[in-house]
Amino acid sequence: MGDALNLFLPLDSVAVALGADDVASALRDEAAKRKLDVTITRTGSRGMHWLEPLLEVESDGVRFGYGPVDIGDVGALLDAVAANVRHPKALGSVQDIPFFKHQTRIIFERCGIIDPVSTDQYLSHGGGAGLDKALRMSGAEICEEVLASGVRGRGGAGFPAGIKWKTVAETRADQKYIVANADEGDSGTFADRMIMEGDPFLLIEGMTIAGVAVGATKGYIYLRSEYPVAARILAQAIDRAYSAGLIGENIRGSGERFDIELFVGAGAYICGEETSLLESLEGKRGEVRAKPPLPAVEGLFGKPTLVHNVITLCSIPHILAEGAASYRDLGVGKSTGTMPFQIAGNVKHGGLYETAFGLPLRALVEEIGGGARTGRPVRAVQIGGPLGAYLPPSLFHLQMDYETMLANGAGVGHGGIVVFDEDVDLLEQARYAFEFCAEESCGKCTPCRVGSVRGVEVMDRIRDDIDREQNLTVLDDLCELMVDGSLCAMGGMTPIPVKSALKHFPEDFAINRGKSDAE
């Protein structure tokens, strides 16, 4: 018998939720029956979620895909591989699948390829190069490189990261902190989860570079509790990073120190807001703080704290390794680098697509996403989570970058695109925006806490044709008040989905609405 057959199967939550663990046991059983020697490496996901569980079989250094694999397929599939004949689920070389091939993967370059908790594989696949370079630079030089790259916060606000770094670096304090915001609560987004499950050392490396740059010796990953798989993998990765000297008291022999701790939240969307997150990390209710002071000056326990979204931190190692100029060459205008767009909802080819900024929305929804899974026409997309705008197909020509989206009343947010077919009722979606705000408001600001409840009532009256015109006026006032009178984006941006729905889909708010109400 020849060498062991090298198989790769994701351990990513989506793959597991579609049966990957069952497929893994079936593979072991069926291989044993056939006396086939197999090695199964559990990897992250390639991001082609309609093909999950996606099994890969290595042959002459090329990984051939099969998917979506059902446990019933496993026996015949192994037979086909052994006999070198084509199986109906064969997809060819995985990296040549068009969805994968046309991406620019600088954040997700290893995701789906390596064992996520192997430091050896991480280092042998290009990991650690950014950190090694940073360790030879001064803190100020690293901050300058980040600033020059133009990378902006990927959590939603899009603030230039380098400015935050400089602020923290220049603020004097006996202790500073790095906090990775992994409270990825926006519906339609899963890039943080995927990278944490598929290449957690990248986040660890990004945080460590940040620590070295700004003079912080302690980092926290604030992870939402709805991500149990990510929690397990991160905990294991942190342990192994210590053992391998990637973090700890003498990082890669440099004499620099950086420690990382994982903190799991307790179910609160608002804790994705940075000041609320810091309160929560201090063990308190996650109530939003007034700014200023900025967390960069007075953050965790009153100390200067660099809070960044996971994807922002994961962009850093590449910037250091390849230089700011090569990063800035990707993207358009002030939207530099790549964004892992997440294509979700009612869509044929759902998944993660990392590309430089500048693709038109239509390409992501229709060409890459393949349109609605139901096969019906796409009627709307919501971009950037529950606080993002609803846009109609007439705006799908818009380019996906921070400035273009902003100019059209929308935002890139965390890069999530939720697709809806013609069945969607935008009044119902606008009502839900208020309902979600009422559920998740931290309660500190009255316009958010009470306004959201009033918003649901107003929507109900408009739907039921009660004093329609007056209620539309109330709705306008309410939105204005929430925007002007809320400390954070929860209250301040809930009007965005509401008003965009009203603006682009007025027929759903009109008398004799086109559809029958689902009551």
Residues that bind other proteins (CB under 8 A): 13-14, 16-18, 49-50, 52, 184-190, 193, 220, 225-229, 261, 263-269, 280-287, 342-347, 350-352, 373, 382, 386, 416, 418-421, 424, 429, 432, 436, 439-440, 442, 518
Q: How many CA atoms lie within 13 A of 276 on its CB side?
A: 24
Q: Which is nearer to other proteins, 134 or 288 (CB)?
A: 288
Bridge partners, 245 (sequence order): none
93 and 83 in contact (C-beta within 8 Å)? no
CB of 290 to other proteins, least distance (A): 18
**Least distance from other proteins to the Cβ atom of residue 206, Å:** 20
Cα dihedral sign, 196-224-53-234: positive
| Closest CB to other proteins among residues 259, 476 | 259
Task: Supply the minimum distance, in Å, between the C-beta of residue 378 and other proteins.
Answer: 10
Would you say 380 and 505 are in contact if contact means Cβ atoms under 8 Å apart? yes
- Shortest distance, position 442 Cβ to other proteins, whole Å: 8
CB of 53 to other proteins, least distance (A): 11
Question: What is the rounded CA–CA span in Å between residue 271 and residue 1?
Answer: 55
Cβ distance to other proteins smaller for residue 107 or 281: 281
DSSP sequence for 30-81: HHHHTT--EEEEEE---SBGGG-S-EEEEETTEEEEE-SPPGGGHHHHHHHH
Q: Residue 73 is encoded by which pair of tokens? A: 């397929």
**Residue 18 or 26 having the CB closest to other proteins:** 18
Which contiguous run of DSSP H or E holds residue 213?
helix 200-214
Terminal Cα distance for the chain, rounded: 65
Partners of 168 in beta bridges: none
- The burial class, CB within 10 Å (0-12 / 13-18 / 19+), for 423 is exposed
Q: Which is nearer to other proteins, 50 or 64 (CB)?
A: 50
Least CB distance to other proteins at residue 295 (A): 15
Least CB distance from residue 284 to other proteins, whole Å? 6
The pair of structure tokens assigned to 225 is 């509790």
Rank residues 196 and 212 by Cβ distance to other proteins and give the closer one. Answer: 196
Distance CA 389, CA 500 (A): 6
Specify the DSSP class assigned to residue 288.
P
Measured from the CB atom, the residue of 419 and 482 that comes closer to other proteins is: 419
